[in-house]
Amino acid sequence: MKRTCMALLTVVGLTLGVGSAPALAATVKKKHVAVKKHKLVIAKRQHRSASFEDTRGLLVRSASALVQDPITGAVLYEKHPDTVVPIASITKLMTAMVALDAQPSMTEVLSIGDQDVDTLKGTHSRLRVGTRLTREEMLNLALMSSENRAASALSRHYPGGREAFIAAMNRKAQALGLTDTQFLDPTGLTASNVSSARDLVKMVAAANEYPLIREFSTATEREVKIGTRPQTFRNTNSLVKNPDWEIGLSKTGYISEAGKCLVMHAWINNKPTIIVLLDSLGKMTRIGDAQRIKRWVESAGLVLQRPTAG
């Protein structure tokens, strides 16, 4: 039987011009390997789609959420992404962009005035009236520690004042295509500052283009001299000092109407990923959601890297 097959292969090989049965066998083997690799690529692509479409194993407790690849635009996960809700201090990303767009002197000294005191929510601040800091320090504290008085001072020292600043915030939102977004103040203390998770993905991507916003929003802490005493301010997002995370941009937010909010531009599986979490109940829910999303994306990626048996 083997001799018959070999003879047949020889005849076929001579007919095709291959030259010999062993040469033909080698050619057939190469084609088989190529087909097998092609099938493996297709299987991986199909598995990638299935992994990210199957969210049954992902429990996100935030009321609205969106996870997106900013390079391809692919949505990895979404939950009520078009619901328009208050965004609290996520507002400060827009505040920072508008302040920087004016290309001001970052060494100019700004002062905290009575107009910067929160009379709406009565929030506390270590920046007492009369505190004088550089614009760079004000921006740092507004992004890192979510200092409301610092954000307010940035808006007051804008060309044309606070009113012109808020108008510029809304113009910027329109220019970025944020159709669900509006701003009435630079701090986010008012519930009238609203957006959707889908809009905020765009806003995070835009803010990520500003080196100072990336630097200041992910700084773990900073010592600032208030009066005659140095004081240490820390980041409101505990994940920025977590060695398991590589975060390029971060901002938290909270008022009662908005719940706990968190947006991040992070690297997961060596790929940029934007995470938006809005209206989270409980002190640690947004952090827990972020951790669950990270593990889910990583597990999907790890599955794709495993070789297929056979």
- Confidence at 76, pLDDT banded by 50, 70, 90: very high
Average pLDDT value for residue range 189-201: 98
- Mean of the pLDDT values across residues 40-63? 56
Q: Which domains does the chain have, with CATH numbers?
A: 59-305 (3.40.710.10)
8 Å CB contact between 105 and 135: yes
Among the residue ranges 15-19, 87-91, 150-154, 281-285, the one predicted with the least confidence is 15-19
CA 85 → CA 89, 162, 170, 285, distances in Å? Answer: 13, 23, 16, 18
11/174: higher pLDDT: 174
Q: Are 154 and 142 in contact (CB under 8 A)?
A: yes
Predicted pLDDT at 146? 98
Can you give the pTM of this predicted structure?
0.81
Distance of CA 76 to the CA centre of its chain: 12
| Confidence (pLDDT) at 4 | 46
Q: Check residues 184 and 11 and name the one with the higher pLDDT.
A: 184
Taking the C-alpha atoms of residue 140 and residue 30, their distance in angstroms, rounded to an integer, is: 60
Which ranges in the chain belong to alpha helices (H)? 2-16, 21-53, 91-101, 135-144, 148-156, 161-175, 197-207, 211-218, 285-305
Predicted local confidence at residue 228, as pLDDT: 86
From residue 108, alpha-carbon distances to 11, 39, 92, 138, 158 in Å are 89, 62, 20, 10, 12
Q: Could you read off the pLDDT of 247-281 as tens digits, one per residue?
A: 999 999 999 999 999 999 999 999 999 999 999 98
* Residue 54 binned pLDDT confidence (cut-offs 50, 70, 90): low
186 has a pLDDT exceeding 90:
yes
Per-residue pLDDT, averaged over 24-32, amounts to: 45
**Using 50, 70 and 90 to split pLDDT, how confident is the model at 204?**
very high
Distance CA 28, CA 178 (A): 57
- Judge whether residue 9 has pLDDT over 70: no
Residues recognised as catalytic: 89, 92, 146
Q: Residue 55's pLDDT is what? A: 61
DSSP letter at 62? S
pLDDT at 53: 53
What is the structure's pLDDT at 227? 84
Question: How many angstroms separate the CA atoms of 212 and 248, rounded?
Answer: 11
Cβ–Cβ < 8 Å for 275, 75: no
Say how many residues make up the chain: 310
Of 45-49, 187-191, 260-264, minimum mean pLDDT range = 45-49
At residue 44, the pLDDT reads 37
The residue-averaged pLDDT of 109-134 equals: 96
Predicted local distance difference test score (pLDDT) of residue 282:
84
Contact 293, 275 (CB under 8 A): yes
